[in-house]
Amino acid sequence: MSRLRADLLLLTAAVIWGLAFVFQKTAMASLGPLTFIAARATVAAAILLPLSIFEYKRRRSLRGPAHTVAIIPRRLSGTAFLAGFAFFIAAALQQFGLQSATASNAGFLTALYVVLTPPLAFLLRRSRPSPVVVPAVALSALGTWLLGGGAYSALSVGDWLITACAIFWAWHVIVCERASLFDRPILFTGLQFATVAVFAATGAGLFETVTVPALKSAAGEILYVGVLSSALTFTLLTLALRFAPASEAAVIVSTESLFAALAGAILLGERLTPIAWCGAGFIMLSVLLVQLGPRARSLPVEVGGKGVCKTDSAKV
């Protein structure tokens, strides 16, 4: 695959993810947040887990008949469970936040996970972050303040929930770093979505009313997020990240926030004020500063907070 084609695939994934914020928001007209998460995760797992059979056969053929390959390695399943739990908490906060936050704000605030990953990795693993992290965190705080119109109090409850979800997306990145050791990306992601589906379905059964008519009315949103924003983009990234440098890929997929704002403006009539656009610009600048910093390539990067991780070697 040419470098240009790989970049185009990454840009396609960014567009799909940006538009997904709109579908995640409109789905709330019919479904509760946990019901929607359970439905999208079930669709994604149903697509990816059967594909993991082909991945297993390929892995076994590469190892040769003298070597055994576990169908589901124990350590991989444990890591997938932990990643799925982090994914569920992050997705739940994001989905509840979208009930009152705009799709535009959600796109930019979710991107804060990139800035939060290095300091959280330091707290959890004592991984020394790059010096650029300190100014990046300051820029992101300023950007969030401006996104609220120059006052944190102007941010909605939904905005704060989505800001909190960025912390759990950052934790998800750190957990997913281990997945690269197994070289079974489809199985890992399929098990992860299956874990999310179980947690979300349990919560939906306890706290929400789930009806078939409601699921049917949100079928378009469920299929878009489950098939395109999860299963398809995962496949695109698996292909593209073998031919695109990690730092370049990270910059391209960061444009999902811009596509979220564009989709919110066109489809939902959302508008950011000039001061909010300045805040969005500072958030994007902080994200790029972390991704392009002198040590950014030594950190795991999760693109889009959708459960796909890549490392410095660009292997997924």
Q: Output the pLDDT for position 212.
A: 93
What lies within 8 Å, CB to CB, of 76 at 6+ separation is 179, 182, 184, 187, 188, 191
Query: Which helix (H) or strand (E) is 197 found in, with range?
Result: helix 185-207
Does the residue 316 lie in any domain? no
Note whether residue 273 is domain-resident. yes
Using the CB atoms, write b or e for 191-212: b if 16+ within 10 Å. bbbbbbbbbbbebbeeebeeee
Which pairing describes strands 309-310 and 301-302: parallel, antiparallel, or unpaired?
antiparallel
Distance separating alpha carbons of residues 41 and 204, to the nearest angstrom: 13
Q: How many domains in the chain?
A: 1
Within-domain flag for 202: yes
Q: What pLDDT score does 115 carry?
A: 84
Q: SS3 breakdown of the chain: % helix, strand, coil, rounded to 5?
A: 75, 0, 25
Residue 283, domain member (yes or no) = yes
pLDDT of residue 309: 46
- Written as tens digits, the pLDDT of the chain (316 aa) is 677 788 888 889 889 999 999 999 999 999 999 999 999 999 999 999 898 888 888 877 766 655 566 778 888 889 899 999 999 999 999 999 999 999 989 998 988 888 888 888 888 877 776 777 788 888 888 888 888 777 777 788 999 999 999 999 989 888 877 776 777 888 888 999 999 999 999 999 999 998 999 999 999 999 999 999 988 887 777 677 677 665 566 677 778 888 998 899 999 998 888 888 898 888 888 888 877 765 444 444 444 445 444 333 222 2
Query: What confidence score (pLDDT) does residue 113 get?
Result: 86
Q: Which domain holds residue 114?
A: 3-310
Residue 302 within any structural domain of the chain = yes
- Asked if residue 228 lies in contact with residue 16, where contact means CB atoms within 8 angstroms, the answer is yes
Give pLDDT tens digits for 151-204. 777 788 999 999 999 999 989 888 877 776 777 888 888 999 999 999 999 999
> Would you say residue 229 lies in a domain?
yes
How confident is the model at residue 304, as a pLDDT? Answer: 44
Q: Is residue 145 part of a domain?
A: yes
Confidence (pLDDT) at 312? 33
Please tell me the predicted confidence (pLDDT) of residue 67: 58
Q: Is residue 315 part of a domain?
A: no
